[in-house]
Amino acid sequence: MATPEEDALAAEWEAAAGGGDLAAEWEAMVGADGSGGGPTLAASTVGAERILNQDEIDSLLGFAGGDDGANERAGVRAIINSALVSYERLPMLEVVFDRLVRLMTTSLRNFTSDNVEVSLDNISSIRFGDYLNSIPLPAIISVFRAEQLDNFGLMTVDSNLIYSIVDVLLGGRRGNVAMRVEGRPYTTIERMLVTRMVEVVLADTTLAFAPLTDATFKLDRIETNPRFAAIARPANAAILVRLRIDMEDRGGRLELLLPYATLEPIRKMLLQQFMGEKFGRDNIWEGHLASELWHTHVEVRAVLDEQIAPLSKVLNLKVGDTLMLGSAPDSPVSVACGRVALTSGHVGRIGHKVAVRVDAPITPAARAELQKGR
């Protein structure tokens, strides 16, 4: 049986909730018998909540159908890939790889004795781990080293190009598509022929970078498993260059991957808009400044000796007083400009004038070389 205190508390809650009005409203909404005679609950809340369909979810996440490049710049994928540095911030890369295409066209024609056309498909940024996961197996992955840059890179040759190169180098007839055998690893002959082609491409890459910097690219090893070609962390960004090599009706793709760590030592050079670009430098002003410096008069002093004396003694000096120096007649003297010591020499006489014979070069670098020679 409810106590008076409980009855009072229940009455208070009923008054706060609107008493019987709340029950009447609920009955009008769902009907007296619960059959939904009144307005439905979904109809009453249609403006309060909206459920996204699958197309809207895909668009929000950046996985909507259409151009892949546009999807990567939208939605959550844009946030994920925001850490990547676009190759467009390194304008000289396009110049280098355009030069590489021209060099490869000539060298591969000499290598295969066939009509070879090399074209640059695209240059993009990619995470190193994503690239390794995208390599189809079986594959031939060439790990090369950039000696002056002290880092590594990857060169991947796809199956179509491998079979085409083998077919061309072993005398296959023109007009016949190279036969592919799926599901088997590459033979030793195929790997050796592809290795020769990779060495030719790396030599051209060295020449392509030559106007920009001295970077020698040499083949380090050949791998067939992407796990053994890990030259960087999976999350590290890298530059991916896709090249298309066509030999009349045969050909394939060649991919060149350079981690950003490899390009970091020459990043300032790659930021140039054109070869030899110099911001804030005026050659006319440099020439004018150099010509004026040759006509500038500079006061040079020969310091025989230096002494420290009390100020009272200096103030008491009179005409006729003699200062005793601590240097002998054959002691070397210091030639200085202000407080900067330039060189040293010995005091002598030419006619009626006192002269100093310079015994050491003026520039610090020349003095250091002279001391090493001694």
Comparing CA positions, the residue from 191, 194, 197, 162 lying closest to residue 178 is 162
Q: End of a domain among 83, 103, 137?
A: 83
Q: Are residues 119 and 237 in the same domain?
A: yes
CA 317 to chain centre: 69
Q: Under 8 Å CB-to-CB from 109, ≥6 apart: which residues?
A: 115, 116
Beta-sheet pairing, 140-146 with 340-350: unpaired
Same domain for 142 and 114?
yes
Q: Give the domain range for residue 69.
A: 50-83
CA 62 to chain centre: 26
* Tokens 């003026």 found at: 362
Q: What is the pLDDT of residue 42?
A: 46
pLDDT (0 to 100) of residue 43: 47
**Kind and range of the H or E run holding 54:** helix 54-61
- Distance, C-alpha 291 to centroid of its chain: 40
- Angle of the 159-169 helix axis to the 92-112 helix axis, nearest 10: 40
What's the mean pLDDT when you consider all of the chain?
A: 78
| Same domain (yes/no): 129, 217 | yes
State the pLDDT at residue 107. Answer: 92
pLDDT at 44: 47
One domain for residues 229 and 129: yes
Same domain, 77 and 100: no
Task: Give, as one character, the DSSP assignment of residue 177.
Answer: P
Half-sphere exposure of 347 (CA within 13 A, CB side): 15
Asked whether residue 374 is assigned to any structural domain, the reply reads no
Distance between CA 328 and CA 302 in Å, rounded?
Answer: 15
Does 141 fall in a domain?
A: yes
Q: Is residue 265 a part of any domain in this protein?
A: yes
Question: What single-letter amino acid sits at 149?
Answer: L
Residue 45: inside a domain, yes or no?
A: no
- Structural domains in the chain (count): 3
The whole-number mean pLDDT for each consecutive block of 10 residues of the chain, a chain of 374 residues, reads 63 56 52 50 52 77 57 61 59 88 92 89 88 86 90 91 88 62 77 92 92 88 88 88 88 90 85 61 78 87 85 88 81 85 86 86 71 63
